[in-house]
Amino acid sequence: MEYNTTRNHLIIREYGRHIQKMVEYVLTLEDREKRQKNAYALIELMGFLNPHLKNVEDFRHKLWDHLFLISDFKLDVDSPYPIPTRETLKAKPQQLAYPKRYPRYNHLGKNIEIVIDKALKEEDSEKRQGFANAIAYYMKLTYSNWHKELVHDDNIQTELSAITKGELEFNNRPFIKHRVDTSREEFVSNVGKYRKNFGGRNRSQGRDNQGGGGRDNRSNRNKFSKKRY
């Protein structure tokens, strides 16, 4: 009996052990023409066992690459596609350069600095003023979101002057509606209303009505009921 511990490493598990044994058999063939025919038969069988590859672009090219990979790149046959090598299939991709951006003001971010640089290069006075007003609005919005409190316009103007070295000034008042978490207050108020309504109920009266009403109903039922034999 053959155990898995005595078998060689299964290179591509999706094709199974039998395909790998067939590839090993093709490697032992000395006749090149016969080896070529068996290679084409293996490609057809590999495509039949993995029909999901048909949805992949150039799926036959992928099958040929897998065939050479299973044979450890030792199969000497003609391929309709460029024959891959170990270096091309297992080559590591180049490491992507991660953009390193260090904003001078963390609560404002890096994008606002790009907008400020674009505003400083603007020559049209109206567009330049529009840039300044939009930048002031965004600065006040980010300050409110970051610190969870409102900020005065003078502080925004001071910070904007420090960033732009006094070259930009906004002429409008950026109105930011401060968002306050009112869920806690609403919950407390609702609980207070519930307790008030529940406390105003006359429990003793309810019990008396329930008890008296229950006895009266039982007596009425006994009065009008007929005895059956």
* pLDDT value at residue 229: 45
Cα angle 208, 214, 219; round to 5? 125
- Residue 31's pLDDT is 92
The whole-model pTM stands at 0.44
4 exposed, middle or buried (CB, 10 Å; 0-12, 13-18, 19+)? exposed
pLDDT, mean of residues 119-143 = 87
- Residue 15: Cβ-neighbour burial (10 angstroms; 0-12, 13-18, 19+): buried
d(CA 166, CA 221): 94
pLDDT for 36: 94
Q: What is the DSSP letter of 169?
A: -
pLDDT given at position 206:
47
What are the structural domain ranges in the chain?
Answer: 4-89, 94-179
Q: By CB neighbour count within 10 A (0-12 exposed, 13-18 middle, 19+ buried), where does 143 fall?
A: buried
The answer to whether residues 104 and 162 touch, using CB atoms and an 8 Å cutoff, is no
Size of the chain in residues: 229
Q: What is the pLDDT of residues 150-200, one digit of tens each?
A: 778 888 888 888 888 888 888 877 776 665 555 555 555 665 555 555 555
Average pLDDT across the chain, whole number: 78
| Residue 66: strand, helix, or coil | helix
